[in-house]
Amino acid sequence: MPAAASLDLASLRAAYAAGLDPADTVREVYRRIAAAGDPGIFIALVPEETALAAAAALPVRSEATPLWGVPFAVKDNIDVAGLPTTAACPDFAYQPAETATAVARLLAAGAILIGKTNLDQFATGLVGVRSPYPPPLNAFDPAVVPGGSSSGSAVAVARGLVSFALGTDTAGSGRVPAALNNLVGLKPTLGLVPTRGVVPACKTLDCVSVFALTVDDAAEACRAMAGVDPLDPFSRPGPAPRASAPPPKPVLGVPRDQDLFFDGDAAAALAWAATLDVARGLGAVLVPVDLRPFLETAKLLYEGAYVAERYAAIRGFIESRPDSVFPVTRRIIEGAQRFSAADAFDARYRLAELARLTAPVWAGIDAMLVPSIPRPMTVAELEADPVGPNAKLGTYTNFVNLLDLCALAVPGPFRLDGFPAGATLIAPRGRDGALASLGRALHAAAGTPLGKTNWPHPPLPPAGDIAADGEIELCVVGAHLSGMPLNHELRTLDARFLRAASTEPSYALYALPGGPPRKPGLLRVKAGQGAAIATEVWALSPAAFGRFVAAIPSPLGVGTLLLADGTRPKGFLVEPEAVAGAQDVSSFGGWRAFVASLA
């Protein structure tokens, strides 16, 4: 394997198809680790001969091994049989008898484990330097913190040592290090990836996250891990992220100017403005969102009784061996002792109120877009104040798991000082695929290299996609189009945008009386005697499709549409009697153009 070769999955697969041996990939990975000269990245490495044996034992490539020959790393609060789990606390270390479900599924998919990475002790922190081991160095500037708690995993990917790495994310540990190292950080819906075999931080809020060079790579790793584990009481069914093209007119909620916090960093504010320009360039409509209830939610995690869950996670250890805990980590976790059970219930009640208060936000947007962090924090700042800078890093992350949301951090345009900047997409649980579709487009359009390498972002596959197994395609032509008044009905059903396409010239489009909102009627006419009408195709689960169709009012119905791309999805049609006297708007070529003509 060439020393400069990229480890993103598209490049690696192309190399394997051209004859590269996975053993050569393994040898190059270990060479890069030695050359990196950073002893803080890994706490434990798989012996190189063991990794080579795993490469030699790979089965024949097949659909059952989508990660065939892909090197990866695991945060050292996740169990791997044969390697100690330390959670960055040597006195806590133990030898697990079983590999964590998430890791076992990656190994079954053909991935090759390289080692276990450093972290903020007990996954408590967003800075990445709260460890008795040497802290990992930020991939761009050693004076800046690498971000935590999943610091080693992020730096390993950013420096091109592995293709992807697992972190955990309770309060932002899978997103903050991504922002500080120019990576993708995927924080899936709670329970989508089992956490059995993960040392808990806050068991009800923990998730296994993915650091990767591209959104597609992160989504693929997540799909390999996703699925209910019957032995994990917090595991839940749900759709794993599957990226496609973003909607033509995505509606993104962004913080109001008065809610933005960059801690006085003008470069961060300019980078955020550049990110918004990238989003607008992709056709996004930006809608201001009142972030105050989200920010209040964030304070519950560390400033209120929820910190008691961190105490519960290691209660026996911290009570019996308090001096074994890193000083600042001990200070934070022992702070839970000032709260009572009644305080915990009060916090739970307030969280329920805030969840209800924030819920309407999601009806009007495809996703929320926020800065991943206010600004980079330096190691010197942490030495002067171990807590304050850490709290600031969690400004835009701490509320996500409390509100049962999914999130995806992606690189944005770099700051003027050459340091990376990132943005995070957030949506309600189950919309991981929608975030992946938006995030991959944002990342590619930002034009940044992958991590701290010179590797360019691989070309995105051509726009357009088809439904996956277990999904039904639904074609919409009017108020359900992206950016239109009824699109939220699709979003609430976790619909996934697939492609924009026109019908065959066999349809007439009418503006039906009534509203608001105004609604169209699509009528099938003789072949060649109609117009090609612009549409969008979305994917729904069978259950969601059934709920959607059941709510369609007369005179509309659902039939099979003939699209110019040769596909035949289900879609809206109107009864012929209903268009008598209605305005024929076929000449506009689509509902969006007709509505624009009315403005």
Q: Would you kindly state where each structural domain of the chain is located, as residue ranges?
A: 9-288+358-446, 472-598
Would you say residue 247 has pLDDT above 90?
Answer: no
Lowest mean pLDDT across 34-43, 370-379, 511-520, 559-568: 511-520
Would you say residue 463 has pLDDT above 70?
Answer: no
Tens digit of each residue's pLDDT (9 = 90 or more) over 102-141: 999 999 999 999 999 999 999 999 999 999 999 999 999 9
Lowest mean pLDDT across 146-160, 241-255, 357-371: 241-255
* Alpha-carbon gap, residue 137 to 134, rounded angstroms: 9
Q: Does domain 472-598 have CATH number 3.10.490.10?
A: yes
**How far lies 220's CA from each of 67, 71, 138, 237, 409, in Å?**
8, 14, 26, 17, 16
β 285-289/472-476 pair status: unpaired
* Alpha-carbon gap, residue 347 to 102, rounded angstroms: 31
Q: Does domain 9-288+358-446 have CATH number 3.90.1300.10?
A: yes
**Taking the CA of residue 550 as centre, how many other CA atoms within 13 Å lie in the half-sphere pointing to its CB?**
7
* Alpha-carbon gap, residue 8 to 3, rounded angstroms: 14
Q: Residue 462's pLDDT band (boundaries 50, 70, 90)?
A: low
Active site residues: 75, 149, 173
Q: Which of 522, 535, 590 is nearest to 563 (CA)?
A: 535
Q: Hunting for tokens 């400033």 — which residue is that?
A: 303
DSSP H or E run through 187: strand 184-187
| Per-residue pLDDT, 464 | 58
* Alpha-carbon gap, residue 113 to 202, rounded angstroms: 26
Sheet holding 519-524, edge to edge: 519-524, 507-512, 583-584
Lowest mean pLDDT across 152-156, 328-332, 511-515: 511-515
Would you say residue 291 has pLDDT above 90?
Answer: yes
Would you say residue 98 has pLDDT above 90?
Answer: yes
pTM over 0.75: yes
**How far lies 109's CA from each of 62, 71, 553, in Å?**
9, 12, 45
Lowest mean pLDDT across 126-130, 242-246, 314-318, 580-584: 242-246
Contact 460, 440 (CB under 8 A): yes
| Per-residue pLDDT, 336 | 87
| Per-residue pLDDT, 239 | 84
Residue type at position 20: L
Would you say residue 460 has pLDDT above 90?
Answer: no
Q: Which of 255, 244, 302 is nearest to 468 (CA)?
A: 244
Answer with the residue of higher pLDDT: 406 or 364: 406
Answer with the residue of higher pLDDT: 468 or 448: 448
| Per-residue pLDDT, 599 | 78
Tens digit of each residue's pLDDT (9 = 90 or more) over 321-365: 999 998 999 998 988 888 999 999 999 999 999 999 999 999 889
Mean pLDDT of all residues belonging to the chain = 94
* Alpha-carbon gap, residue 282 to 367, rounded angstroms: 14
